[in-house]
Structure 1
Amino acid sequence: MIAAAGSGSGKTTVTTALLKAFLLEGKNVAAYKCGPDYIDPMFHSEVIKIPSRNIDTFILGENNVKYVVGKNSLSMDISVVEGVMGYYDGTGIGTNGSSYEIARLLGCPVVLVLNCEGMAISVCAVIEGFKNFREESNIKGVILNNISEGMYRYYKNIIETNIQVKVYGYMNRLDDCKLESRHLGLVTAQEIGNLQSIVNTLGENASRTIDIKGLNELAQTAPVIEYEDPVIERKDEVNIGIAYDKSFCFYYRDSLEVLEKMGANLIYFSPMSDKKLPDNLSGLIFGGGYPELYMDDLSNNKSMLEDIKEKISSGIPTFAECGGYMYLLDSFKEDGNEYELAGVCEGQSYMTNRLNNFGYVTLTADKDNLMCKKGDKINGHEFHYSTSTNLGDAFTATKPESEKTWKCIVADDTKFMGYPHLHFLGNIDFARNFMETAISYQKGHIK
């Protein structure tokens, strides 16, 4: 695991560099991201050319975290896990859901990415503090970030003289290789035109300045992961349309694979550029993303908007979260401009200057709906600067380790639309209910 003292340390840059460096060594590499973030795994996937997967104990549960890593690492030479926030940061004031908890669950060794700027021997106190803050911290080494070769030799001598931690190398300050950010974190991988050039530079640099062989040897000390396969019942085959383009690109690969294992044929379409929905669909899924950046394209594609509204009005089962939910509202307003959208659901979304209901949530259904029965629960998360005039009232959201609650989700027998992001592996019954309704629609039982 590549972890850090806090956000903004360069975890993603170092992880990306290491993934490429391992590939240059001829290794088969798997990548994982602690927590619910969508964007970091996109960078991993661009490097290793296979899906990077999210592992999150709050959303998935412990066994499913082990299942995701265990099954996808079987044929790999090495697996690299990128941590989230600071190593010990979890829900509320504790470590639940933290990178630390996941490292303990998997039994994997941990290497801290550390920025030494403004410190001398105090860097040893920082490392010792992290190493000894909890039992079985699993912290075995450090990588020093944004320093020169000369300063690296200085810090390496200080650290290895004073404490029992191995220094595995360093990363130079590479200003041309910075991964840009915006309000939801880093920009997406597909928005960076010279990404492959950046990845190549990072990987070649890491091969020179980081002990890749030593990290590979460290990784081999991790134990075999034991897990139980989740029970995913095969259903009839149905075609499910997945909105996917620059506007809608936030999907968990393992969540979609639950649908595939149940019999779904996933058919991707672009709300930005396709003129209508694919033929013969029995369900629709609209993920999150950055629709606010592409409102001209989305709003001007009238034939697609009309087709979507017609199909959803006809009863096709529809699941939409965050950006996908925004797209299905009447409109979006920004800087005095109003963009007409699908109009499946009453309401208008707009941007604010702060995160709204940010973080993990537990959703409890207040009525029967497409995805579940009244009283059923699922864990998810919210991460959005926009809000809307119609947040819905089909569910009650509760913050973990908090008394804060609010109403959310527009839902009925064929629709589920709202801001929270869900993961079907975290509640397989939700996926099963969606699939069963899609099968009924395919058979003509829903009009």
Structure 2
Amino acid sequence: MAAPKSGGGKTTIVCALLRALQKMGLTAAAFKSGPDYIDPLFHSRVLQTASHNLDLFLFGRGEQGTATARYLLASGSDGADIAVLEGAMGYYDGVGTTSEASAYDLAKVTNTPVVLVIDGSGAGLSLAAQIKGTAAFRRDSRIAGFIVNRIKPGVYAYFKDVWEKETGLTAFGCFPDMAGCAFASRHLGLVTAGEIKDFRSKIDALAEQVMQSVDVAALLSLARSARPLPYEEPVLKPAGPARIAVARDEAFCFYYEDSLTLLKQLGAELVYFSPLHDERLPDCEGVYLGGGYPELYAEALAANAAMKGSLKRALSDGMPCVAECGGFMYLLEEFSAGEQSVSWCGVLPGSSKMTDHLTRFGYVTLTAEEDTMLCRRGDTICAHEFHYSDSTDNGAAFTARKASGRRSWPCGRSEGRIVAAYPHIHFWSNPDWARRFVAACRTYREERHHED
């Protein structure tokens, strides 16, 4: 499910379709093209199961990324009746001015047929030109048809035949604006699914609309037409056992599900905790602090002195920790936004502050400038940055280089067994980094047992 541009309503329609499939008694698997964390949270809330990111840059450019995407699509849809992939941005929008790592690129390497979600508001016959132009832009676009969003069913019925005739594509249905069912947005995109009141009733209403005005049977038939997916299962050597505590609550919720699964495949047991609500870390030998919206819960995080103390004692004792973006901010001494200033963990010296603009944004490649818990000097991994804050000490353990290669900057703190930085990484980009994390946690476990 793709679109000519962002804001066309892909996430709403994908979530409605996932729920409709569920109501029909089918098991759906959900995927998101690109590095976005928020849309998979919506998928997961609908299906009550994990959603997966498929990112041809984060997985490693070229054949490595292709092989990983195929494997993770196959493993993530194991046991499902249908896999639904949601595109990102415009269909052809990829790295820089190219289509690399775009939804189009992903559809091409996974042999996935494509349906365009097109905004039909304020257009009639001209909509056919937009649909046809998007489909014909590349000879192998794989676009089989379209769903017209934000249009009254009567208007859709009036233009349907001419749109199909002019484009040569299948019209799979329409979706009207529905009062009270829109998802709100803020600085990093949509609000998270967990924050939406009456989420289930809204999704049920959207699903009922899909079942009324979208030809779901035809979509299922299109899915069945997909060519076989070639893939190879990787051979992974376990590095555990180790027990890793993963921060997961309203403030920290940005994780790539397959990164977490990889840690488990390497021998880690994952236990979840809340820096907002819990008083101490669970029994563990490592900590993973992902990103999210800690800035929205700054005072509550600051007020939880017991958790801050528990985390600081554990990491000061040598417990391994990976902290990304919001997790990195939380480890610093202070956070400020406007006139507000609060104390956070103080594990690392320095402070972070919200700005009114994106500070750094986009795909980067990280190159290690020193040996760290995760890697050796010179090792690389693909990553993504997307944040409105900045810190007084971003570190220099890595060099971040834009995907275009035109700009680079130092980033990342490595202190003992702590690796903390603004960029988000996907462990499938370089599974050795995940293996070294699990191995460091296992070593810490052995050290503790030896002391006992």
TM-score range (shorter-chain normalised) is over 0.9
Deviations 1:313-352 (A, max 9, x none): 1111110000000000001012222110100111111111
1:352 to 349, 352, 355: 355
Identify the residue that residue 3 of structure 1 maps to in structure 2.
Answer: 2
Alpha-carbon deviation of 1:225? 1.1
Aligned partners of 1:175, 1:88: CA distance in 2, in Å? Answer: 31
Identify the residue that residue 378 of structure 2 maps to in structure 1.
Answer: 375
1:98 to 93, 98, 102: 102
Mapped pair 1:121 → 2:120: no
Alpha-carbon deviation of 1:27? 0.9
Please show how residues 230-309 of structure 1 align to structure 2 within 5 Å: 230-279=234-283, 281-309=284-312
The 1:74/1:236 distance shift into structure 2, 3 A limit, reads: closer
Aligned partners of 1:24, 1:196: CA distance in 2, in Å? Answer: 13
Aligned partners of 2:328, 2:367: CA distance in 1, in Å? Answer: 19
Please show how residues 202-221 of structure 1 align to structure 2 within 5 Å: 202-221=206-225
Q: Secondary structure of 1:407's match?
A: strand
Identify the residue that residue 70 of structure 1 maps to in structure 2.
Answer: 74
Deviations 1:154-200 (A, max 9, x none): 22122023221110000011131101111000000111121101110
Is the 1:380–1:421 Cα contact (8 Å) retained in structure 2?
yes
Aligned partners of 2:121, 2:36: CA distance in 1, in Å? Answer: 27
Q: Secondary structure of 1:177's match?
A: coil
Identify the residue that residue 316 of structure 2 maps to in structure 1.
Answer: 313
Identify the residue that residue 141 of structure 1 maps to in structure 2.
Answer: 145
- Partner amino acid for 1:353? D
Alpha-carbon deviation of 1:230? 2.1
Mapped pair 1:326 → 2:324: no
Identify the residue that residue 201 of structure 2 maps to in structure 1.
Answer: 197
Identify the residue that residue 58 of structure 1 maps to in structure 2.
Answer: 57
- Partner amino acid for 1:425? W
Identify the residue that residue 62 of structure 2 maps to in structure 1.
Answer: none
Identify the residue that residue 172 of structure 2 maps to in structure 1.
Answer: 168
Identify the residue that residue 156 of structure 2 maps to in structure 1.
Answer: 152
Aligned partners of 1:395, 1:253: CA distance in 2, in Å? Answer: 24
Alpha-carbon deviation of 1:123? 1.2
Is the 2:238–2:435 Cα contact (8 Å) retained in structure 1?
no
Alpha-carbon deviation of 1:82? 0.3
Aligned partners of 1:118, 1:300: CA distance in 2, in Å? Answer: 50
Is the 1:19–1:47 Cα contact (8 Å) retained in structure 2?
yes
- Partner amino acid for 2:352? S
Identify the residue that residue 115 of structure 2 maps to in structure 1.
Answer: 111
Aligned partners of 1:272, 1:161: CA distance in 2, in Å? Answer: 56
Identify the residue that residue 430 of structure 1 maps to in structure 2.
Answer: 433
Is the 1:368–1:412 Cα contact (8 Å) retained in structure 2?
no
Aligned partners of 1:158, 1:349: CA distance in 2, in Å? Answer: 55
Aligned partners of 2:440, 2:242: CA distance in 1, in Å? Answer: 10
Identify the residue that residue 421 of structure 1 maps to in structure 2.
Answer: 424
Alpha-carbon deviation of 1:74? 3.1
Q: Secondary structure of 1:223's match?
A: coil
Mapped pair 1:407 → 2:410: yes
Identify the residue that residue 394 of structure 1 maps to in structure 2.
Answer: 397
Aligned partners of 2:217, 2:245: CA distance in 1, in Å? Answer: 44
Aligned partners of 1:343, 1:155: CA distance in 2, in Å? Answer: 61
Is the 2:2–2:115 Cα contact (8 Å) retained in structure 1?
yes
Alpha-carbon deviation of 1:127? 1.1
Q: Secondary structure of 1:130's match?
A: helix
Deviations 1:218-237 (A, max 9, x none): 00011221111123211231
- Partner amino acid for 1:435? V
Identify the residue that residue 93 of structure 2 maps to in structure 1.
Answer: 89
- Partner amino acid for 1:415? I
Is the 2:338–2:354 Cα contact (8 Å) retained in structure 1?
no
Structure 2 unaligned regions, length at least 5:
60-64
Q: TM-score, normalised by structure 2?
A: 0.97
The percent of aligned pairs where both chains have the same amino acid is: 43
Aligned partners of 2:95, 2:179: CA distance in 1, in Å? Answer: 33
Q: TM-score, normalised by structure 1?
A: 0.98
Mapped pair 1:24 → 2:28: no
Is the 2:355–2:390 Cα contact (8 Å) retained in structure 1?
yes
Q: Secondary structure of 1:443's match?
A: helix
Is the 1:368–1:413 Cα contact (8 Å) retained in structure 2?
no
- Partner amino acid for 1:137? S
Deviations 1:93-132 (A, max 9, x none): 0000000000011111100001122322221111111111
Is the 1:4–1:87 Cα contact (8 Å) retained in structure 2?
yes
